[in-house]
Amino acid sequence: MSQEAVHFAVGAFDCIAVTDGISAFPAAVVFGNAAEEERDRALSSRGLPTDMVQSSLTSVVVTTGRYRVLIDTGIGPFMPSTGHLLENMRTAGVEPESIDVVVLTHGHPDHIGTTIDTDGRPAFPNARIVMRQGEWDFWTDESNLAKAAAGQLHNLGELDQFMGNWARTYLPPIHDQLDLIEGVSEEQIVPGIYALPAPGHTTHHMGLIIASGSDQLLNLVDVAINPLHLAEPTWHPAFDFQPEIAIQTRRKIYDRAAADHARILVYHFPFPGIGYVTRSGAGWHFEPESTEIERPLPE
């Protein structure tokens, strides 16, 4: 049976890591600037395929006592293995109508793909939807969408077209629910949840700090896509919009996580993506935290 949800706590906050499923992209895209021979050797040494790289899609529900917050919404119906966020939330006891706040960390398809349901209606009808102003502006700008349609946003052809199509489909219907923020360092979204600017992957990509009492979790989203990006910190996805800035951001944030021995959650790491990092050579090593998998009860 597939993994669906993991319950964990951050101080007094009840949290659930919930998967939308598993996506896969070519290794040459996930590690866009890596030499093919080095990339294949690194993947093979970890027992991983050298052609396609699988990525988990891990959203997080945080119940603070006053608010129920959902962080990112998966990719939606992209392939048969994705688009399961709503059903997995319900299995974990969370109805979409109970969500007070949805945080979209950036505008890539795999983070906005369940903002609407299969009928085109807002999937979280009672939520305010928080996004950085600059991120919204980028993904609703017609000149950027025209570049995406021409395959020239990152010069990735069909992948750029996919990004543009998802932005056109999943962002306009939530306009009336939007709460656009600047997303400056530790700007409060709700008490206990704060913005962590992490530019480079997209222009206004952000992580989140979830803090309750003396406990905290850094949700680092797409600062790294794969654990191999930690071992090889200069490798970056071909869809990083500002690769040099993304690498600088990775060093800054992962150095902080290692120095503080901070608990982290990474969106695309093997589900549920919760653990710690330590310095290792020129990069870092990710150590998963032992967690309990929540599965549906037998009927």
Task: Tell me how far apart the alpha carbons of residues 89 and 61 are, in angstroms, rounded to a whole number.
Answer: 9
Task: Tell me how far apart the alpha carbons of residues 108 and 154 are, in angstroms, rounded to a whole number.
Answer: 13
Task: Tell me how far apart the alpha carbons of residues 8 and 15 are, in angstroms, rounded to a whole number.
Answer: 5
Angle at 75 (CA atoms; ends 69, 80), nearest 5 degrees: 125
pLDDT of residue 1: 31
In order of start, what are the domains of the chain with their CATH numbers?
5-294 (3.60.15.10)
Of 38, 60, 87, which is closest to residue 269 (Cα–Cα)?
A: 60
pTM: 0.95
**Sign of the alpha-carbon torsion through 244, 167, 23, 179:** positive
Task: Tell me how far apart the alpha carbons of residues 18 and 272 are, in angstroms, rounded to a whole number.
Answer: 8
| Mean pLDDT for the stretch of residues 133-143 | 98
Are 152 and 121 contacting, i.e. CB atoms less than 8 angstroms apart? no
Residue with tokens 């659930």: 16
What is the pLDDT of the chain when averaged over all its residues? 95
53-107 pLDDT, tens digit per residue, is: 999 999 999 999 999 999 999 999 999 999 999 999 999 999 999 999 999 999 9
Q: Does the pLDDT at position 293 exceed 60?
A: no
Strand 193-197 vs strand 206-212: parallel, antiparallel, or unpaired? antiparallel
